[in-house]
Structure 1
Amino acid sequence: MAESLSPASLAGAAILGLVVLQAIRKFFTAPSPLDAIPSVGIPSYPFGFYVGAWNYIKNGRAITEEGYLQYPDKAFRVALANRWLVLVHGWTLIEDVRKAPDEFLSVADATNSLLHLEYTIGHEQHHDPFQIAVIRSAMTRNIGAGFHDIRNEIVAAFEDLVPAKADEWISVPAMQTVLPIVSRVSNRFFIGLKRRDPKYIKITTQYAQDVTSNAAWLHVTPAILRPFATRFFKFGHLEPATRKALKYLGPLLQHRLDMDDKYGAEWPNDDRPNDMISWLLDEARGYPNRRNVRTLTRTILNINFGALHTTTQGVLHALYTLAANLQYVQPLREEIESVLRTEGWSKAGMQKLVQLDSFLKESARFVPGGRSVYLFDRLTIGPTSVGVLRQVMKDFTFSDGTTVPAGTLIGVAILSEHHDETNYTNAGVFDGFRFSRMREQAGEGIKHQMVTPTPDYLFFGLGRHACPGRFFAVNEQKMLLAHILMTYDFKLKDGKRPEDEWMAHIAAANSTAEVMFRRRQ
C-alpha cells in the first residue's frame, strides 16, 4: 500500500497546480492593453500579483512614490486586493482625466468600486444620491446664514469635551474628542440644536467609521460572499444604524414631511427652518421615492459620513502639526485677533484668515510619514497618496497613447505631485505660510485658497467633480482651529508630532495620540 503524502508534499503539489493553472489561463487569455503599462511593487515569480497587493497594503505610499519617480509623466500600475490600479501623473495626463466625459471615466463607479456602496450606504443612496445637488447649492449658499449657530455649537462642544482650566494642563485623546465635536457642529448646522444628544452623535460617528472600515473588509471579500458577509457579520452596519437613527430622526422627519405636504416651502409666519431637511425636501419635490422617513434618515446619515471625515482628519492633521511647530501659534493668533476686531466671528471673517487657510492647506499638502496599520476597524478616510479616482467605462486612450481598458480603476499620484519640486519649491519641507505668501503676489489672491483645486493641488479633486462640500469643510476647519488657538494653550507630551497611520494609499491621523490643553488667561 502506498504511503500517504506528507503535508509539505500536498502543499507543493497545490502550488504547482496553481502555477500550471495560471500558465494555462495566461496562454488562453488575449493580451490586454494593461500589459503595456509597467507595474510597480509586483514580484516576478508566479502569483506575484497577490504578493504585490499585500505589499501595497503595507507600503502603498512608498510603492506609489517609486512608480512616480521611475516613470516620470507616464502611467504605471499597482496591485489592489482584487484588481489593478493605474496611476498617472504630470499635468498632461491629469488634464486628460479632468476633461474626460463621464461615459469614459466615472467618479461614481470608482467610488462604488472602493466603498461597495450597495452594502455600506444602501441601495437608494448608491443609485440616487440626491443630496449632492443640495450640498453643492443650498448648503453652500447658507453657510453664512448658519454661521451663528455653528459658532455657538463649537463653543458649547469644546466646553463639554475639553474642560480645561487656566491653572492646569489636561490631556485628551485627540481623535475621540475631535470626531464628536465635528459631529455636533455639523449636525447643528444640518438639523438643529435638538440633535445634540450624545447617543445620536455616537450613532453618526460610528456610522461614518463603519462605512470606511467595512468597505475595506468587503474589498478583500470575494464578491460572491459579500451579501452573506453584510448579513451575518459585523459588516452589516447599515440596517442597525438606520434603525437607531430612526428613533431620533423619525418623529422630526415625519413632522417636516407633513408640514411640507400641507404648506410646501411657504409655511405660516415664515416658520420653516432653514436647514438640511428643508433643502432635501425642496430637492425631493416631485420624487415620491425620496420623500419618506427612512430614505431621508439614510440620506442624513450619509451626509454626516461625508462631512465628518474630511473635517476631522483636516483638524487633527493640522492640530498635530501646529502643536509640534509652536512657532506658528503667535502669528496665527495675531491674524485671528485682527480679523475678529473688524469682522467678528463671521463667514466674511473666515475668508480673511489668509495665514490660517494657508496653514490648513499646507498641512493637507504635506501629510507627514507614518506607520502602516492593518486593523481595518480603525480605518478612516484622510489625506491620501492617490486621488482623482475614476472607473474606466469605455477603453480610454491618454494623449501620450497609453490605452486603459474598460473596467480598470485609475487615479492620480497626488501626494507625489504635492511633493514634486517642479510644483513646489522645497516641497519636502513643511512651510505653513507657503500659500499666504503666494497670495500676496499681484493677481494671486484667490488662486491659492484651500478651496480652489488646481492641477498641482488635488486634495479636493479636480474640475467639475471636485468635492462639493469643500466650502463648508474648509470654513468649519478654520472655525475649529481658530477657536482652539484663541481659547487654549496646547502641546504634545513629548513635543513630537504623532505618526500618521497608513494603509495602502490612505493616511489617517493618529487615532491614539493625546494632546494637552490649558485655557488661556
Structure 2
Amino acid sequence: MAYVEVFCLLFFSTFIFHLIKRPRIGMNEPPLVPYQYPIIGHTYRLLYDAENFLKECREKYGEPFSLYVFGNVRTFTGVDSTPEVLRNSDVFDHSAGVNKTFPFTDIFEKFTDTKSSYMVRVVHEQVSGKISVYTSRMQKELVSGIEKFIGDCKEPKVIGNIQETLSRIVAKPVADVLLGEEGAKFEDIMVSFTTAEKALDKMRFAPEFLLYIHHSLYKFIAMLPLKVGWNPMTQHRDIFVQRCKPIIEERICQRKELGEKYIQKDDLLDFFISESGTDVVDDKLLNHLFGVTYMLVFAGINYGGRPELWNELYEEQLKIHNESNGYLSTEDVNKKMVKLDCFLKESFRHSSDIAMLPHTVVSNSYTFSNGTTVPKGRDVYLYSKDTAFNDKLYGETSNEFQPKRHITSFSNGKTVHSPATKVDRSFITFGGGKHACPGRFFAVNEIKICLHKLILKYNIRTESDKVVPSMKISSIKMPPNAGLIFENRN
C-alpha cells in the first residue's frame, strides 16, 4: 500500500508541477510544435512513431524545431542546421547531453578522472595514427575469430544473433590493440569486453516518468546504486586486474631495469602506463588503467549487407587477395578496396539513426544562421535522417541503396570516391567538426578487413533471401532480429 501511495503522490505532484510549469519559449526560439496533452506533450509520438512524426514536424515547421518531451523542451536540427551544432563544440556539448539521462561519466569517475578531450587525442594519435602497425595483427586475429565463431560452413549454417557473433570476432583485435598479445589471450577478458555494455544497461532501471518532473530527479534515482557502493563495472574491473596486473608489473619492472633503453610496446596499455608517470602498481594505477581501457572498449566493439551485391564485391576482394598473396597491407585496405568502401559508406547511411547525438547548450545561448536562438541548458538533438536521406544532397534516389553513388567517374576515365571515413555535411555517421570520431579510421579498416575475409570465404544470405529492415526503438535504429546463413564458397 505504501508503494501505491508514493506512486500516486509522485504522479499528482508531477501533474500539479506541469500545470504550473508550462514550457516558455522565447520570441526568437525555434518554433515549439503544438501539442494536445499538458504533461505528455510529444513524448508518446516520439517514442512510438518517431520516423513519421519528425518528418511531419520538419515539413510543417522547418528547422530547427522544438518538441515537449518528458517534461522538457528539446530542439531538433535538420540538414542545414546540424552542421552548425557539429562545428560549434564549444557551445554544444555532447558529453553533457548524454550524461543528463545516462550517467556514463559518473560510472567511470570511480576509476579515473580522465577527460574526454584526452581520450580523443589518444585515439587519434595512438590508434588511428598507427593503423599501419596494427593492420597485420588485426588481420590475424579476425581470421582466427571467424574460424572460431563461424567455422568452415561446408553445410549452410544459420547464425541467429549476428551482432553478438561479430562482437566476439572483433573483440580479439580490439584487445590486441588495447592490451597487447599478452592481454588478448585471455578468454574471460574477451567475454568481459563484449558484455560490459550489457552491464551498463542495468543502470537504466530508473522509471522514465521521473523525467517528467526533472531530468535531475531521474539521474538521482539512476545514481542511487553508485551512491551505496554498487557499480556494474566492478566485476569487469576485477577480471581486468586479475589478468592484467602481472603484465603491468612485468612492464614496469622492465622500464626500471632498462631505463631509456626500454622500447615502448605498440599497444594502449603500455602507452597509458608511460603516461601515468608512476612505477607503483597500486589500486589507483590499476583503477585508472581499467577506466581508460574500458572507456575505449565501448567505442571499439560494436556491421550489414545486401546479398545481390556480394558477387561484385567478391570479384574486387578476390583480385586484391591474389595480388597480396592473402596478406593485406594498409595500402590494400585504404586504396584498393574502393567498391567495398563505398558499399560500407552506403550501409552506414542506411543504418543511420532517425535522431541521435544529444548536445546540451553550455554557453549563454546560440543563434542559428536562420535567426532562431536556443538558450543555455537546452538539449539539441540531430535529426540525422533529414541529412542521410535528403534529396538536396543525394538526389531523387536518396531512399535507394546505391553503393556506387559515392564513386564519381570523369570523361577522361578517372574515378574518385568519397571514403567512408570522410565526414561532411552530407555524412554525419561519425559526427563532424573537430570532434568527429577519431577512431573511425581504425573502425572502418577493421570492418573492411573483416568483410574482405567473410566475402572471400562465404556465400551470405538472410534466411528469407530478402533484406530485413532494422528495428526501431523511438528514434534509434537497432540491428534486425534475423539470422544469416553462411555457406562455404568452395
What TM-score does the superposition give when structure 2 sets the normalisation length? 0.85
2:399 maps to which residue? 428
- Cα gap change, 1:199/1:34 in structure 2, threshold over 3 Å: closer, same or farther? farther
Partner Cα distance (2:190, 2:126) in 1: 24
Partner Cα distance (1:23, 1:503) in 2: 29
Task: Decide which of 171, 176, 179 is 2:164's aligned counterpart.
Answer: 176
Alpha-carbon deviation of 1:15? 8.1
* Cα deviations by residue, 1:405-451 (Å, 9 ceiling, x for unpaired): 111111321122111111102001111222134699999836x1110
Partner Cα distance (1:413, 1:127) in 2: 30
Per the alignment, in what secondary structure is the counterpart of residue 160 of structure 1?
helix
Q: Is the 8 A contact 1:134 1:280 kept in 2?
A: no
Q: Is the 8 A contact 1:120 1:215 kept in 2?
A: no
Task: Decide which of 269, 286, 311 is 1:277's aligned counterpart.
Answer: 269
Partner Cα distance (1:280, 1:461) in 2: 26
- Cα gap change, 1:441/1:455 in structure 2, threshold over 3 Å: closer, same or farther? farther
The question of 1:519 aligning with 2:488 is answered yes
Partner Cα distance (2:191, 2:79) in 1: 42
- Cα gap change, 1:349/1:45 in structure 2, threshold over 3 Å: closer, same or farther? same
Partner Cα distance (1:219, 1:451) in 2: 38
Q: Is the 8 A contact 1:54 1:81 kept in 2?
A: no
- Cα gap change, 1:423/1:114 in structure 2, threshold over 3 Å: closer, same or farther? farther
- Cα gap change, 1:18/1:208 in structure 2, threshold over 3 Å: closer, same or farther? closer
Partner Cα distance (1:412, 1:443) in 2: 36
Per the alignment, in what secondary structure is the counterpart of residue 48 of structure 1?
coil
Alpha-carbon deviation of 1:514? 1.6
1:297 maps to which residue? 290
Aligned residue type for 1:69 = E
1:398 maps to which residue? 368
Task: Decide which of 222, 241, 244 is 1:226's aligned counterpart.
Answer: 222
Partner Cα distance (1:223, 1:53) in 2: 18
Report matched runs for 1:204-215 at 5 Å: 204-211=193-200, 213-214=201-202
Partner Cα distance (1:257, 1:78) in 2: 54
2:177 maps to which residue? 189
2:345 maps to which residue? 361
1:373 maps to which residue? none
* Cα deviations by residue, 1:121-152 (Å, 9 ceiling, x for unpaired): 33455652433221111211211112111111
1:254 maps to which residue? 249
* Cα deviations by residue, 1:352-371 (Å, 9 ceiling, x for unpaired): 2011011111011112xxxx
Q: Is the 8 A contact 1:362 1:432 kept in 2?
A: yes
Alpha-carbon deviation of 1:229? 3.8
Q: RMSD between aligned alpha carbons?
A: 3.3
Task: Decide which of 298, 308, 318 is 1:337's aligned counterpart.
Answer: 318
Partner Cα distance (2:411, 2:131) in 1: 26
Per the alignment, in what secondary structure is the counterpart of residue 392 of structure 2?
coil
Partner Cα distance (2:443, 2:463) in 1: 29
1:23 maps to which residue? 19
- Cα gap change, 1:21/1:341 in structure 2, threshold over 3 Å: closer, same or farther? closer
Alpha-carbon deviation of 1:193? 3.0
Partner Cα distance (1:349, 1:459) in 2: 24
- Cα gap change, 1:294/1:254 in structure 2, threshold over 3 Å: closer, same or farther? farther
Q: Percent of pairs identical after alignment?
A: 17
Aligned residue type for 1:517 = F
Partner Cα distance (1:459, 1:158) in 2: 26
Alpha-carbon deviation of 1:162? 0.8
1:71 maps to which residue? 61
- Structure 1: segments with no counterpart, 5+ residues: 1-6, 310-314, 368-382
Task: Decide which of 130, 138, 141 is 1:142's aligned counterpart.
Answer: 130
Partner Cα distance (1:357, 1:304) in 2: 24
The question of 1:45 aligning with 2:37 is answered yes
- Cα gap change, 1:438/1:33 in structure 2, threshold over 3 Å: closer, same or farther? farther
Per the alignment, in what secondary structure is the counterpart of residue 393 of structure 2?
coil
- Cα gap change, 1:18/1:142 in structure 2, threshold over 3 Å: closer, same or farther? closer
Aligned residue type for 2:403 = G
Alpha-carbon deviation of 1:84? 3.0
- Cα gap change, 1:78/1:191 in structure 2, threshold over 3 Å: closer, same or farther? same
- Cα gap change, 1:105/1:18 in structure 2, threshold over 3 Å: closer, same or farther? closer
Partner Cα distance (1:361, 1:19) in 2: 46
Partner Cα distance (1:361, 1:94) in 2: 19
Partner Cα distance (1:143, 1:81) in 2: 43
- Cα gap change, 1:197/1:388 in structure 2, threshold over 3 Å: closer, same or farther? same
Partner Cα distance (1:482, 1:495) in 2: 21
Per the alignment, in what secondary structure is the counterpart of residue 404 of structure 1?
strand
Q: Is the 8 A contact 1:131 1:280 kept in 2?
A: no
- Cα gap change, 1:514/1:95 in structure 2, threshold over 3 Å: closer, same or farther? closer
- Cα gap change, 1:55/1:144 in structure 2, threshold over 3 Å: closer, same or farther? same
2:355 maps to which residue? 386
- Cα gap change, 1:193/1:423 in structure 2, threshold over 3 Å: closer, same or farther? same
The question of 1:463 aligning with 2:442 is answered no
* Cα deviations by residue, 1:272-309 (Å, 9 ceiling, x for unpaired): 42111123234444899998122101211121111112
Partner Cα distance (1:187, 1:273) in 2: 14
1:375 maps to which residue? none
Aligned residue type for 2:115 = D
Per the alignment, in what secondary structure is the counterpart of residue 199 of structure 2?
helix
Aligned residue type for 1:165 = C
Q: Is the 8 A contact 1:254 1:293 kept in 2?
A: no
The question of 1:237 aligning with 2:232 is answered yes
Q: Is the 8 A contact 1:488 1:519 kept in 2?
A: yes
Partner Cα distance (1:57, 1:95) in 2: 25
Q: Is the 8 A contact 1:387 1:413 kept in 2?
A: yes
Q: Is the 8 A contact 1:37 1:75 kept in 2?
A: yes
Partner Cα distance (2:457, 2:261) in 1: 41
Per the alignment, in what secondary structure is the counterpart of residue 43 of structure 1?
coil
2:308 maps to which residue? 327
Aligned residue type for 1:337 = L
1:491 maps to which residue? 461
Aligned residue type for 1:58 = Y
Q: Is the 8 A contact 1:143 1:347 kept in 2?
A: yes
Aligned residue type for 2:329 = S
Aligned residue type for 1:498 = V
Aligned residue type for 2:245 = G
Q: Is the 8 A contact 1:385 1:415 kept in 2?
A: yes
Task: Decide which of 368, 371, 382 is 1:412's aligned counterpart.
Answer: 382
- Cα gap change, 1:165/1:97 in structure 2, threshold over 3 Å: closer, same or farther? closer
Aligned residue type for 1:204 = F
